[in-house]
């Protein structure tokens, strides 16, 4: 099947919104004595997390988890697998999950429950993109870059069969009939 990629959110707007999110996070965490762990969900969050922490002036640590519910398709399987667990002990820690996109919410709901079961004190979510039309569970991001319609998106860490993560903008995949 043929497809093309159309720009949804250009590079400049993505970068501007990340600076705004960093300031919102700083404001909410600046008076806390304890550090916050920015927990990136691999692989999609890497670009977003990297740019976000460069703009955030806080005492923070970073960690990663790798979870999967997609495989190589374009829709979630609904089955969440933890491929890489955290390196830090999460007991009593304040976490900010950094995610590329909230879609159905099933993966993030599972991850939050998993981390609370490991003893996390507080978990907030920062997502670059939010697709509320697709939500299957009650879940909201605490820091949301952009609310987008139900479209298949790539770029800025998001992929289509592991391709296009390196695009410096968010694009829509438009499938074409032959």
Catalytic residues: 103
CA separation for the pair 160, 2 (Å, rounded): 13
Tokens encoding 12: 């400049």
CA 99 to chain centre: 1
Can you give the three-state secondary structure of 72-116, one letter per residue? CCCCCCCCCEEEECCCCCCCCCEEEEEEEEECCCHHHHHHHHHHH
Compute the radius of gyration of the chain from its Cα atoms.
16
DSSP, collapsed to helix, strand or coil, labels residue 50 as helix
**What is the residue-wise DSSP string for 121-135?**
SEEEEEEEEE-GGG-
DSSP, collapsed to helix, strand or coil, labels residue 166 as coil
CA separation for the pair 85, 95 (Å, rounded): 14
If residue 64 lies in a helix (H) or strand (E), which one and from where to where?
strand 60-68
């Amino acid at each position: 099947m043929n497809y093309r990629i159309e720009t949804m959110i250009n590079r400049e707007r993505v970068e501007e919104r990340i600076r705004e999110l960093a300031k919102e996070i700083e404001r909410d965490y600046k008076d806390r004595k304890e550090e916050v762990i920015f927990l990136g969900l691999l692989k999609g969050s890497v670009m977003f997390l990297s740019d976000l922490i460069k703009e955030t002036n806080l005492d923070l640590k970073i960690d990663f988890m790798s979870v999967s519910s997609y495989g190589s398709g374009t829709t979630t399987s609904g089955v969440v697998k933890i491929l890489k667990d955290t390196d830090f002990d999460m007991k009593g820690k304040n976490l900010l999950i950094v995610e590329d996109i909230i879609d159905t919410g099933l993966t993030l709901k599972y991850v939050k429950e998993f981390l609370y079961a490991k003893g996390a004190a507080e978990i907030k979510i920062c997502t670059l993109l939010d697709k509320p039309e697709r939500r299957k569970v009650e879940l909201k991001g605490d820091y949301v870059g952009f609310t987008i319609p139900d479209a298949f998106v790539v770029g800025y860490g998001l992929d289509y069969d592991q391709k296009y993560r390196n695009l410096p903008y968010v694009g829509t995949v438009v499938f074409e009939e032959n």
